[in-house]
Amino acid sequence: MDMTIEDKARLVCGSGPFGIGNQPENGIPEILMQDGGTGINFEQLFDELYRDEGKGYTPEEFDNVSRKFFREGELTGRELELRSAIYARLKDRCGAIEVAPGCYPPGILLGATWNPDIVEECGRALGLEAKVYGIDVLLGTPNVNLLREPRNGRFFEGYSEDPVLCAEMAPRMCEGVESQGTASNVKHFAANNQEINRVGIDETISEGALEELYFPAFKACSRVCSTVMVAYNSINGVKCTENRWLIRDKLRGQWGFDGVVMTDWSACTGPAGDCIEAGVDVIMPGPWPHEDIEAAVRDSRLSASHLDEAAARLTRLIRRHSGVRFSEAITNQQYMEMGDMAAYSAACEGIVMLINRDGLFPVSEGQGLVIMGGDGSMSDYGGGSAQVFTPRTTNFARELADRHGIRVSFDDYDRFRNGDTAVVVEKVQAREGTDRADIKLTAGTRELLKQLTDNRGSGKICLILNTSGPVELGEFENSIDALFAVFYPGMMGGRALSDIMAGTVNPSGALPVTFPVKYEDTPGYLSYPDSFHCNYGEGIFAGYRGYQKRRTEPLFPFGYGMSYTSFDIAGACAGLSGNEIRVGFKVKNTGRREGKATVQVYVHKVFTAKNRPVRELAAFGKYSIAAGDAKNCELVFDIHRLEYFDEDYGKFLLEQGEYAVELGLSCEDIRAVSTIYVENCSPELACGPRWTCGQINEVPELVQALAKDVECAGKSFQPFISCLRYSPFDRVTKAFPDCADFPDFMALCSRYRSR
């Protein structure tokens, strides 16, 4: 059926708070979108589907039911009536599957696994769960914004501070979700790296930083995802929702994305027609006023063809995913087991052991742990759209006692002073919409740690970082005997942590971000905004790149993580074949336990005239190795990983010369080194007229050949000398426009082999 301009305008303006479509007269059903990447958000689900059940109830009562749905004892009589009505509809919607959703680890913990298979496993569980609840597009699967600013309220949602780690891990989430018939959704495009003034903030970011750091994960995901969500912020003065270069030129034109692009909720703050003209397909939440879309077509602000394309993409998405439901052959037990195993595996491989003095852990049966200031529960999720309300959570204290026979007590200072280990959980509940005031330990934890350190006797202290990201240890760094970063570990985090503490699981998580000694050490510290403008002043030196470039020692470096065993890397041998770099090496388990080693390959050009990082991650692999055994391994990556973005030419370029290939267990723990030589560089960088006078001057033979040709041409060499004195970055053509015709100079340039 042909659609009118009004039909198309209504389609691109959404049908409800989380719905699109709903034009039965045009054969277009409605599909449901909802967060999220860590599990089903009941607050949103009820808002979209069950608001009519709330007639006669206050918004507070409705909100209370969504948040305490599984804590019936905390609901009033009226709220219980509402819950009963909603429960009946949920059961009808989910069939034989129980209604309790799963809660899965967020991006930062998935990034800490360094295991793409784990990410895909979680994606499959999330995709299935979405279908169980009748959700067609699962928002935030994944959130791939780079972890640049540790105060960011949504820091926990992203995967890493490194673009390669993000780009290798995040697409597997898309693949897992899509494998279940659910559309994945990548957000927030692009550079949504802090929450302060997120609606309207304008970020000044160099093109090099965008291309090298903030785009790669989006580009990688665009090859496999169905939908992309555009961010609230502006980049270099243009709103992301109205940024034609960002959406039409970059995402669609260069990367070839042909899926649906949507705004973040209420991110359209200007004329709706401008968003669609820039490349957005649907403005959320719906129903958005569609009159401006029609007016924009009449006024030629929006081309009719672009509206047609948006409507076609939406119709294709809706028809592909509407009516796709989970197989009735899947039982409740299978559904629960799949989710539990995915969440458990992720937590086991993502929890990072950072300190373990004198082998304090693992503890043995009969040993004592004293849980201080809590009951052993942890925050499984962060706040905002990532929140998940479920009874399917685990408590590490109960798990240690019940499953491992560990003697667990609570707030017993006598046991602590007499040798039991005190366990303190540092909980920081971060959320979208606001940033953390600082990254210090909370006042309550600092006070508790001070009491313990002042009265420790023979006791030991273990700190659990149940936080959204890095924290400063401050004065307590040397007082802590064991330290685990669990971030927000999901519903099986308590069980996974207990198994790690008891030693049935060997910790293998490695930090996907750097932990600073103090916040002031972070590369973007002086760039944190206090207004509606943010300057990304660190450029390409975000994360570990900034620490290493400034020679600032971190508390814990990127890629760091301890194990109950030890590893070594030897025999590194790198070779270049075509466009592939192959790195062979041997990993040996030099300890007494089986464990998993995360081997990281870093690269840098040995000599470069460019202002480049000390080293950059190029590849990684995680290997399970028995005690005393060794494994021959190989990692392969594309030569494009050696390129940098040149803002003068507006493209990625490859330098000729020698590159170091370093293998390590963190970015600071390099164990083996090899080198390769790149013979063929990008034409723009080839030795010759495009080189600067300063570059030519670094090679005496080139200077001599140039001087000889200048003399033979009857010209003065003074222009070259002047350039060296006052503008060495000018190209040699500035001094001699016809230098391409100089025979000796050009002949030597063609033979020159860069270091």
- Comparing 79-88, 150-159, 663-672, which segment has the lowest mean pLDDT? 79-88
Residue 58: give the domain boundaries. 41-100
Domain boundary among 682, 712, 734: 682
Residue 7 covered by a domain: no
Contacts of 593 (CB under 8 A, 6+ apart): 506, 563, 564, 565, 627
542, 608: one domain: no
Strand partners, 601: 619, 663
Task: Check whether 755 has a pLDDT greater than 80.
Answer: no
Contact 121, 324 (CB under 8 A): no
pLDDT at position 69 is 92
Q: DSSP states of 52-121 as a string? A: GGGTTS-HHHHHHHHHSTT-GGGS-HHHHHHHHHHHHHHHHHHTTS-SPPP----HHHHHHHT-HHHHHH
How many whole angstroms separate alpha carbon 432 and alpha carbon 196?
Answer: 10
pLDDT at position 31 is 95
pLDDT at position 328 is 74
For 521-525, what is the mean pLDDT? 97
* Number of other residues whose CB lies within 10 A of the CB of residue 643: 16
Tally the domains of the chain.
Answer: 4
For 488-514, what is the mean pLDDT? 98
For 607-628, what is the mean pLDDT? 96
Residue 178 covered by a domain: no
CA angle 579, 116, 120 (to 5 degrees): 125
State the chain's mean pLDDT as an integer.
Answer: 95
Q: Which amino acid is at 503?
A: G
602, 541: one domain: no
For 429-568, where are the alpha helices, taking DSSP H only? Answer: 443-454, 493-502, 544-550
For 523-530, what is the mean pLDDT? 95
Task: Check whether 9 has a pLDDT greater than 80.
Answer: yes
Residue 341 covered by a domain: no
pLDDT at position 714 is 95
Q: What would the pLDDT profile of 257-278 be if each residue is shown by its tens digit?
A: 999 999 999 999 999 999 999 9
484, 417: one domain: yes
Task: Check whether 54 has a pLDDT greater than 70.
Answer: no
For 603-607, what is the mean pLDDT? 96
What 8-state DSSP symbol labels residue 146?
-
Residue owning tokens 């002949």: 747
Pick the closest to residue 427 from 472, 372, 465, 481 (CA basis): 465
516, 613: one domain: no
Contact 18, 317 (CB under 8 A): no
585, 463: one domain: no
What 8-state DSSP symbol labels residue 364?
-
Domain boundary among 682, 699, 716: 682
- Comparing 318-327, 471-480, 558-567, 659-668, which segment has the lowest mean pLDDT? 318-327
How many whole angstroms separate alpha carbon 203 and alpha carbon 685?
Answer: 31
Residue owning tokens 């991006």: 107
Task: Check whether 1 has a pLDDT greater than 70.
Answer: no
Residue 504 covered by a domain: yes
Cis peptide before 190 (omega within 30 of 0): yes
Pick the closest to residue 210 from 241, 250, 151 (CA basis): 250
pLDDT level of residue 727 (50, 70, 90 thresholds)? very high
User: In 152-233, which ranges are E strands?
Assistant: 183-189, 202-204, 227-230
Contact 133, 147 (CB under 8 A): no
709, 743: one domain: yes
537, 585: one domain: no
Contact 274, 296 (CB under 8 A): yes
Q: Which two tokens stand for residue 662?
A: 């370093």
3-state secondary structure 215-281: CHHHHHHHCCCCEEEECCCEECCEEHHHCHHHHHHHHHHHCCCCCEEEECCCCCCCCHHHHHHHCCC
Residue 399 covered by a domain: yes
Strand partners, 443: none
Residue 361 covered by a domain: yes
Contact 145, 192 (CB under 8 A): yes
For 567-596, what is the mean pLDDT? 97
603, 623: one domain: yes
Residue 324 covered by a domain: no
Domain boundary among 521, 550, 579: 550
Cis peptide before 142 (omega within 30 of 0): yes
441, 534: one domain: yes
Q: Is the dihedral of CA 444, 446, 449, 453 positive or negative?
A: negative
Cis peptide before 36 (omega within 30 of 0): yes
482, 571: one domain: no
How many whole angstroms separate alpha carbon 254 and alpha carbon 677?
Answer: 29
pLDDT at position 95 is 81
Residue 739 covered by a domain: yes
CATH of the domain at 602: 2.60.40.10
417, 493: one domain: yes
Sheet holding 630-638, edge to edge: 567-577, 580-589, 630-638
For 639-649, what is the mean pLDDT? 96
pTM over 0.85: yes
Q: How far is CA 77 from CA 60, 72, 86, 691, in A?
A: 14, 10, 14, 79
542, 575: one domain: no
Strand partners, 472: 440
pLDDT at position 364 is 84
CATH of the domain at 441: 3.40.50.1700
How many whole angstroms separate alpha carbon 679 and alpha carbon 677?
Answer: 6
Task: Check whether 242 has a pLDDT greater than 80.
Answer: yes
For 675-696, what is the mean pLDDT? 93
For 211-220, b/e burial (b = at least 16 CB within 10 A) is bbbbbbbbbb
pLDDT level of residue 92 (50, 70, 90 thresholds)? confident
How many whole angstroms separate alpha carbon 577 and alpha carbon 596?
Answer: 29
